[in-house]
Structure 1
Amino acid sequence: MRSPIGEGRERLLQALFDEFGENGPGANLSMRQVAERLGVHHTLLTYHFGSRPGLLRAVLSEARRRDNLVIAAAGDELGFEALCRAIWNFYSDPAHEDRIRAFFHLVGLAVYEHDVFHEFVADLDDLAHILEAAALRDGATPAQAEQQSIIATSCLRGLLLQRLLTPTAEIGAAAERFITSLGAFTGESRSS
């Protein structure tokens, strides 16, 4: 008896994580090479993921979902500024560099093919919602919390992109300066 389509896709996704880790298959591997490493026919990958970007999108979306669970669990105890620092430290870790490169690759594709990457783009707000909840805990109004989370998410992603393009110590210092400046937007400044 054949398994339902979603179940087969989930098994393949888990096999991708088992074989390639959270960063997914490297950019230099074709769908055929990925399938070969998994011990499946490449048409099975095409059936479940559509294309190389579709496969990468599925792996990165699942990795981001897992990351957000970890970040959200830690975030329940952290204020807005501390949560931003934890997010920066997590994603700026060199162990995540390949995944960050793949993320920006997919974001670039999404700019040109928004319909194809609609789900991927929609999931980008998950991190902003986690930050928004932290800002609310710090005493921000709902409108302030939403704005703060948009600013923080956009700036942290911009700093990560800059770090990929020009990896210098100044990027880390700029990130720390930005994160420290967030205190002006949080309850720390409203209570003084």
Structure 2
Amino acid sequence: MRSPVGEGRERLLQALFDEFGETGPSPKLSMRQVAERLGVHHTLLTYHFGSRPGLLSAVLSEARRRDNLVIAAVGKDLGFAALCRAIWTFYSNAEHEDRSRTFFHLAGLAVYEHKAFQDFAADLDDLAHLLEAAALREGFTMVDAKQQSIIATACLRGLLLQRLLTPDAEVDAPAERFITSLTTTIT
């Protein structure tokens, strides 16, 4: 009897997390190498994920979904600036550096192949939605909450990218300065 549609893909995703952890396989590994590590034929990965970038996108999207659940649980009662700080603390942690690298690798690919990365791009707003909800709790209008969440998400991602591109750069102090500035702009 065949598994319901999607169940095989979900089992493969879980196997990928079991084998490679939260960061997924290295972007340097081929589909054949990943399949070997999982003990499956590479055509199975191609069937479910399409390509190596598709596989990385699926793993990263699932990791981000899990991250957002953790951040949402921690931040459900936090104000906007405190939630920004929690997000920064979470993603600037050294244990998430490989996942951040994969994120920016895929974001770069998505710029050139938007259609191939539609699911990945659609999930990019999840953090902004969490921040938007925090801003609404603080009394922002819908328009202001949306705009402030986009600005904050872009700034935090930019700082993470800066850290990856110039590892010697001190970005924690600018991140804190940005987050602190939010408490003076939110009223």
Identity %: 79
**Other-structure match for 2:173:** 173
Distance in structure 2 (CA, Å) of the matches to 1:61 and 1:45: 16
Residue 16 of structure 2 corresponds to residue 7 of structure 1 = no
TM-score normalised by length of structure 1: 0.95
Contact kept? 1:148, 1:185, Cα under 8 Å: no
1:39-83 per-position Cα deviation (integer Å, ceiling 9, x unaligned): 101110011001000000000000000111111111112110010
Residue 67 of structure 2 corresponds to residue 85 of structure 1 = no
Contact kept? 2:32, 2:42, Cα under 8 Å: yes
**Other-structure match for 2:98:** 98
Number of residue equivalences: 187
Distance in structure 2 (CA, Å) of the matches to 1:148 and 1:119: 24
Contact kept? 1:104, 1:161, Cα under 8 Å: yes
1:129-150 per-position Cα deviation (integer Å, ceiling 9, x unaligned): 0000001111211111111100
**Other-structure match for 1:55:** 55
> Root-mean-square deviation (CA), in Å?
0.9
Q: Structure 1: 5+ residue runs without aligned partners?
A: none
Q: SS at the partner of 1:95?
A: helix
Contact kept? 1:23, 1:96, Cα under 8 Å: yes
Distance in structure 2 (CA, Å) of the matches to 1:30 and 1:47: 15
**1:5 alignment partner AA:** V
TM-score normalised by length of structure 2: 0.97
**Other-structure match for 2:37:** 37
**1:128 alignment partner AA:** A
Runs in 1 of length 4+ with deviation above 3 angstroms? none
Q: How does 1:150-165 map to 2 (within 5 A)?
A: 150-165=150-165
Q: SS at the partner of 1:107?
A: helix
**Other-structure match for 2:117:** 117
Q: CA deviation at 1:92?
A: 0.5
Distance in structure 2 (CA, Å) of the matches to 1:28 and 1:146: 37
Q: CA deviation at 1:169?
A: 5.3
**2:71 alignment partner AA:** I
